[in-house]
């Protein structure tokens, strides 16, 4: 039996530049972090006592006799890719799916990590990120970028640079106190809305050439944000840059924001938030705000109808938290 624990991520700057259509020609950059909300994947061999060969438990329960019968496309393609048979898999998570936190990619990374361990194989973080990208973008044929899989696998506060030759993960080296100040200045709220990331990404790809300049501007903000974090100036500038970036991002497609989300965002700004953004591709999920410490109670009160989710940064990425050797089921 294997249990993996894989973090979710929040992307601060550069989202959209991690799409292949952009970074292979112009180069992409993303600044993101993982935080202490996780998905858990439990996998074990399933004895041949049942009239089905594999069982999968997530928001529904699937019992199948053939891999092609699996309805969940990510599970089906990971099973095929890793040549898995006769298993029981269960998924659990601290936060809901389809909410802009890279949950599907965290699931992919955690599942592949568990599959390798069940087969008594060691897989490094790059291998798991690469495999998750391949499964989601090629086998599942879902639109989107590559930052989520990388963040979930490596973990931590990183700049991720991408070009036609691949990607590079660059950990941001800042003092513990400054990192804690950033963490303490961020507030996360659940809007109550969910979305399909691939659907929003498809809309962003429409008339893609017309959006190149705006994506280049968003890419440039990654370096600006890095300089703010690694410098000695006021971190409030980070919040103001978030606001500037969000205004550009929401202009990329009509599906990125909604009237309700715009109203929530404006309410937070009027209450004292320096800036913020809707996490993920857009359309729903979680709103993130940068708020000076003395103004946090006012923002929380103004958004009182929304669920406030406290969090802390994490650095571990995907990991195995339980491992017990099993003999493959042969009887």
pLDDT digits (tens, 9 = 90+) for 100-149: 899 999 999 999 999 999 999 999 999 999 999 999 999 999 989 999 99
329 in a domain, yes or no?
no
For residue 266, give its domain range: 176-312
Whether residues 200 and 162 share a domain: the answer is no
User: Is the pLDDT confidence value at 205 over 60?
Assistant: no
Average pLDDT of the chain?
Answer: 92
Question: Please, are residues 180 and 190 in contact by the beta-carbon 8 Å criterion?
Answer: no
27 in a domain, yes or no?
yes
Which CATH number do you get for residue 197? 3.30.70.890
Q: Give the pLDDT confidence score for residue 331 in this predicted structure.
A: 46
45 in a domain, yes or no?
yes
User: In the structure, what pLDDT confidence band is assigned to residue 251 with cuts at 50, 70 and 90?
Assistant: confident
Whether residues 234 and 109 share a domain: the answer is no
Nearest Cα to Cα of residue 229 among 241, 214, 218: 241
279 in a domain, yes or no?
yes
Whether residues 9 and 135 share a domain: the answer is yes
Q: Give the pLDDT confidence score for residue 328 in this predicted structure.
A: 62
User: Is the pLDDT confidence value at 49 over 70?
Assistant: yes
Whether residues 73 and 125 share a domain: the answer is yes
User: In the structure, what pLDDT confidence band is assigned to residue 206 with cuts at 50, 70 and 90?
Assistant: low
Name, in order, each residue with C-beta under 8 angstroms of 224's C-beta and a sequence gap of 6 or more: 13, 241
Whether residues 140 and 243 share a domain: the answer is no
Q: Give the pLDDT confidence score for residue 199 in this predicted structure.
A: 52
Whether residues 140 and 248 share a domain: the answer is no
User: In the structure, what pLDDT confidence band is assigned to residue 197 with cuts at 50, 70 and 90?
Assistant: very low
Q: Which of 50-54, 183-187, 189-193, 321-325 has the lowest mean pLDDT?
A: 189-193
Q: Give the pLDDT confidence score for residue 202 in this predicted structure.
A: 55
Whether residues 80 and 104 share a domain: the answer is yes
Three-state DSSP class for residue 225: helix
Which CATH number do you get for residue 57? 3.30.230.10
Whether residues 67 and 148 share a domain: the answer is yes
Whether residues 82 and 19 share a domain: the answer is yes
Q: Give the pLDDT confidence score for residue 330 in this predicted structure.
A: 58
- Average pLDDT value for residue range 143-165: 97
Whether residues 294 and 282 share a domain: the answer is yes
What residues are annotated to the active site?
148
User: Is the pLDDT confidence value at 310 over 70?
Assistant: yes
Query: Is residue 60 packed enough to be buried (19+ CB in 10 Å), middle (13-18) or exposed (0-12)?
Result: exposed
Whether residues 62 and 137 share a domain: the answer is yes
Whether residues 159 and 186 share a domain: the answer is no
34 in a domain, yes or no?
yes
110 in a domain, yes or no?
yes
> What phi and psi, each to the nearest 5 degrees, are found at residue 102?
70, 30
User: H-type helices in the chain, by residue range?
Assistant: 20-26, 73-82, 103-118, 125-133, 147-154, 176-184, 197-205, 212-230, 236-249, 259-271, 296-302
330 in a domain, yes or no?
no
Dist. CA 289–CA 268, nearest whole Å: 8
In the chain, the number of structural domains is: 2
328 in a domain, yes or no?
no
**What is the tens place of the pLDDT at every residue in 280-290?**
867 789 999 99
């Amino acid at each position: 039996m294997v249990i993996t624990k894989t973090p979710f991520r929040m992307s601060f700057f550069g989202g959209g530049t991690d799409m292949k259509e952009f970074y292979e020609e112009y180069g992409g950059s993303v600044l993101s972090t993982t935080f202490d909300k996780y998905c858990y994947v439990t996998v074990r061999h399933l004895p041949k006592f049942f009239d089905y060969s594999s069982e999968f438990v997530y928001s529904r329960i699937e019992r199948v006799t053939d891999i092609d019968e699996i309805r969940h496309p990510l599970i089906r393609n990971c099973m095929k890719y890793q040549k898995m048979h006769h298993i029981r898999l269960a998924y659990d998570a601290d936060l809901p799916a389809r909410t802009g936190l890279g949950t599907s990619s965290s699931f992919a990374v955690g599942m592949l990590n568990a599959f390798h361990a069940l087969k008594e194989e060691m897989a490094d973080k790059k291998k798991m990120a690469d495999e998750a990208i391949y499964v989601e973008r090629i086998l599942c044929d879902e639109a989107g970028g590559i930052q989520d899989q990388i963040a979930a696998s490596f973990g931590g506060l990183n700049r991720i640079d991408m070009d036609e030759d691949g990607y590079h993960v660059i950990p941001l080296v800042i003092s513990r106190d400054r990192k804690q100040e950033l963490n303490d200045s961020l507030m996360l709220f659940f809007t109550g809305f969910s979305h399909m990331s691939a659907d929003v990404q498809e809309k962003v790809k429409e008339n893609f050439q017309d959006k190149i300049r705006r994506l280049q501007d968003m890419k440039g903000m990654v370096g600006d944000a890095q300089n703010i974090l690694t410098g000695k100036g006021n971190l409030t500038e980070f919040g103001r840059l978030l606001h500037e970036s969000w205004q550009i991002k929401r202009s990329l497609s009509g599906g990125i924001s909604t009237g309700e989300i715009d109203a929530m965002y404006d309410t937070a700004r009027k209450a004292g938030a320096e800036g913020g953004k809707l996490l993920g591709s857009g359309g729903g999920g979680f709103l993130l705000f940068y708020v000076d410490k003395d103004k946090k109670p006012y923002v929380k009160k103004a958004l009182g109808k929304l669920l406030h989710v406290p969090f802390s940064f994490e650095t571990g990425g995907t990991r195995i938290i339980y491992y017990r050797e099993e003999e493959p089921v042969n009887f």
